[in-house]
Amino acid sequence: MKIKSLAPALLLLLVPAISACVSVNTAIPVERTVSAKTEFELWQALRIAVDLSDYPVGTGADSGKREILSGWKLDLAPYKGKGFRTRVIARYERSDAPASSDPLVAFDVTIRVEKDTNESYRSLDPAYADWKGAPDDVVAAKTIMQRLESLLGSGES
């Protein structure tokens, strides 16, 4: 085979690999079924778990929608692409699964920590930030879920 005929074949093989490297917000939620005495107790524990993780919880918390959308938490760095921002998206709904014990109610909880990286050369100034989507922070989502479960305990008095 000649070199000229190999170039197009190699190019066709590399196109899918290059397109797979394109960075987009990849939603990777952490999902668990937890038990609580009441929906209000779960709501309060979820708000506290997000707050303990230093995410600002304000008007994005809507108990009617059973959802918390926190504000952005900035982690700026002096190099392009190293700084990032994250925010929590937490939702829950009643579960069909049985609760861990009789007086408790089961809820399906989904926690996602969305992440964007700062692609600006003036990376320490948030006014000049150029935010691009990045894969979710799964470790932070698991940490918040663990805090939630710790706050709820077994649900028994």
The model's confidence at residue 21, banded by pLDDT at 50, 70 and 90, is very low
The structural domains of the chain, ordered by start, are 25-152 (3.30.530)
* pLDDT for 7 beyond 70: no
pLDDT in tens, 46-91: 999 999 999 999 888 999 999 999 999 999 999 898 999 999 999 9
Tens digits of residue pLDDT in 105-148: 999 999 999 999 999 998 898 899 999 999 999 999 999 999 99
**Buried b or exposed e, range 47-64, using 16+ CB within 10 angstroms:** bebbbebebebeebbeee
Mean residue pLDDT of the chain comes to 86
Q: Global pTM?
A: 0.78
The encoded tokens of residue 44 equal 């309060």
Residue/partner pairs of 80-83 with CB below 8 Å, 24 or more apart: 80/118, 80/119, 80/120, 80/121, 80/123, 81/117, 81/118, 81/119, 82/117, 82/118, 82/123, 83/117, 83/118, 83/123, 83/124, 83/129
